[in-house]
Amino acid sequence: MKKKKVKSFSIVVIAIMIIVVILVSPFKVPFSVKVPGKVIPHYEWLVTKSQDNQLFTLQRDHLKEIVKQYTSTQFDRGDIISFKLNRSISSKGFVNSGDTIGVVYSSELEHMLSQLEGELSVTKATLKLYEAGEKESIITEAQRKLAHERERVSEQRSIVNRLQELREQNLISKEEFEIANNKLELYNIKVEIAEARLQTVTTGAKKELINAQLARIKAVENEILKIHKRMEQLILITPIGGVIQCFFNSDTLISVQDTSSYVVIMPVKWEDHYFIEQNQEVLIKVQGMSNNLYGIVSKMDNIVQVIKNRQMIIVTAVISSSSQNLISGTFTNCSIKCEPVSVMEYLKRIF
C-alpha cells in the first residue's frame, strides 16, 4: 500500500514537471484567430438622393475605405426631378465602364434653357435689324406692325388678368393660366421686335448699339453653355464595370459593384488584434462552396467599434484566390494565420 502511494506521488510529480517544462519551453505553437467575415466588392459606384433635393454619385474603395470620386448636384426647391433608366443596360444585370446608366431630368433647367434660347433668338433677330439699316420705304409697314402687336398684347393682358382672378378662386387649372401667360410673354417679345424694327428703319442703328447686341448674344450663349454642362452632369455614366442593382424605395437609386475583386471585412476581438499583422494569410470558408478561398490581410482599423457589447477592431483582407462564384454580402468563416505563440499563450487563448 505504501509503495502504491509513493508510485502515484512520483507520477504526479513527473507530470507536473513535464507540464512546467512545456510551459517554460521556447517551443512555439501554431496559432490562428477564427472570426466571422463578410464579402464586399473592392470597388463600388453609387447614385443616391437626399431629402433636400440633392443628387450624389460616389465611387468607393472598400479596401482603403476612401471615396475615390464624388459629385453633388443641388436642385432648386420646387424643381420637378425625374429619372429615366437605360433599360437596355439594366436588363442585362451587368455593365461596362463608361456605360450610360440613365439620365436625370430637371424641369427648372429645361425651363431656363427654353427661356435663354428664346432670348437668344430675339437678340439675334434684333441684331439683324440693326445691321440691315432699312429706311423710309418700310417705316409705314413697321409702324402698322408695331400697332398690331401692341393691340394683341393689350387683349392678351386682359385675358390673363381675368384668368388670374379665376385661378385665385381655383376655378381654372394652373396649366390653363400658364398657357395664357406664356402667350402674353410671346406677344411682348413680338412687340420688342417690332419696336426694334421701327427704330432701325427710322433712325438707323449706331455702331455702339450693334456692339452692345453682340455682347448680349455672347452673354446669353455663355449662359446656355452653362446649362448644357449642368445637364451633361445629369447623364449618369458608370466609371467601373460590374453587377448593377436598381433601388426605387430607398435613398440609393443605383449600385454598380465591381465583381473582378473582392475583400472580406472581419470583426476581431480587441484582445486578439495584437496578433494580427499585414500580409498574414486568411483562410476563408463559404457555405455551399467546396473549395476554400484565401486572402491576405491588408488593413486593420485604428478605431474600436462596439459590436454586441464587445470591443472589436475591423480587419480587411483582399481575397487573392479565384472569386468568380462569390456574391457581395456573403457571410463567411475566416481563420487568420498568425505568428506562432508560446505554449502558455496558446493555452490562455483556448481557456
Q: Please name the residue ranges forming H helices in the chain.
A: 2-24, 87-90, 107-132, 139-168, 174-203, 207-233, 343-350
pLDDT per position as a tens digit, 26-37: 666 788 889 999
Residue 282: closest CA among 60, 117, 36, 110:
36
Q: What are the domain boundaries of the chain?
A: 29-41+261-350, 43-104+236-257, 108-231
265 vs 166, residue with greater confidence:
265
Give tens-digit pLDDT for 187-213.
888 888 888 877 766 765 567 777 888
Measure the CA–CA gap between 55 and 59, rounded to whole angstroms: 14
Q: Quick one: which of 210, 237, 208 has its CA closest to 103?
A: 237
User: pLDDT tier at 225 (50, 70, 90 boundaries)?
Assistant: very high
Q: Which fold has domain 29-41+261-350?
A: Elongation Factor Tu (Ef-tu); domain 3 (2.40.30)
* Segment 133-188, tens digit of pLDDT: 555 556 778 888 888 888 888 888 888 888 888 878 877 777 787 888 888 888 88
Cell of 7: 508510485
Q: Which of 10-19, 39-48, 209-218, 229-238 shows the lowest per-residue confidence on average (mean pLDDT)?
A: 10-19
The answer to which of 44-48, 81-85, 258-262 has the lowest mean pLDDT is 81-85
